[in-house]
Amino acid sequence: MNLPLINFGDLPPDGRNYSGEFRTDPFALPGKFDPAFVPPLRYDLNVRLDDGDVIVEGSVEARFMLQCSRCAAKLPWAVDLDPYFTCEAKEGDTLDLTAQIREDILLALPGYPRCEESNVEPQPCQTEGAFPPEGEFIPLTDETSGAPAQDVWKALDRLPPGGPGSAS
């Protein structure tokens, strides 16, 4: 995807409006756990020249599915850059804002999102209740001697074969 190429020769003194949306993924983040783009990305921008600068004002919005940093569940996230502002150096005859807007959107994403922090649809994090109550924890050391408790290995034998979640 690309934003329309801005041709400086076409810009009236009070600027020109560029608005639209695209559905192809401009982010193309490779990792399995990276934010996943949910189309469309919408933009509504006014672009004008000011001496040697290109002033871009308006709004940009995009949706993502992020992965909760605690329970690994997917959660929706909206990036709504409104107002959006960027000032670029006027170089050459044209300007492609695609890379700048892509970067500004990615910078607005949270680094460690959590289910209950979703700004679209907050949910209780699925780690709630996923761990056994404290009374069921297996002590790793004998509290009086500090030596490993023999029961640890017997306790492991009591786990279902194949580990949690393998039963169908």
Residue 70 found at the interface with Zn ion (CB under 5 A): yes
Give the burial string for 52-70 (b: 16+ CB within 10 Å, else e).
eebbbebebbbbbebbbeb
Q: Which is nearer to Zn ion, 97 or 115 (CB)?
A: 115
Residue 73 beta carbon to Zn ion: minimum distance, rounded to whole angstroms: 5
Q: Which is nearer to Zn ion, 1 or 73 (CB)?
A: 73
Residues 108-147 that bind Zn ion (CB under 5 A): 115, 125
Give the burial string for 102-134 (b: 16+ CB within 10 Å, else e).
bebbbeeeeeebbbebbeeeeeebeeeeeeeee
Residue 106 beta carbon to Zn ion: minimum distance, rounded to whole angstroms: 21
According to CB under 5 A, which one of 66, 68, 101, 105 is a site residue for Zn ion?
68
Q: Which is nearer to Zn ion, 101 or 115 (CB)?
A: 115
Q: Which is nearer to Zn ion, 33 or 85 (CB)?
A: 33
Residue 61 CA to residue 40 CA, distance in Å, equals 9
Residue 7 beta carbon to Zn ion: minimum distance, rounded to whole angstroms: 46
Q: Which is nearer to Zn ion, 16 or 70 (CB)?
A: 70
Residue 66 found at the interface with Zn ion (CB under 5 A): no
Element at 49 (helix H, strand E): strand 36-50
Give Cα separations from 17 to 54, 115, 165 (angstroms).
Answer: 13, 37, 54
Instruction: Record the tokens describing residue 74, joined without a space.
Output: 């997917």
Residue 134 beta carbon to Zn ion: minimum distance, rounded to whole angstroms: 21
Size of the site for Zn ion (CB under 5 A): 6
Query: CA torsion, points 149, 153, 155, 156, in degrees to nearest 10?
Result: 140
The contact set with Zn ion (CB under 5 A) reads 68, 70-71, 73, 115, 125
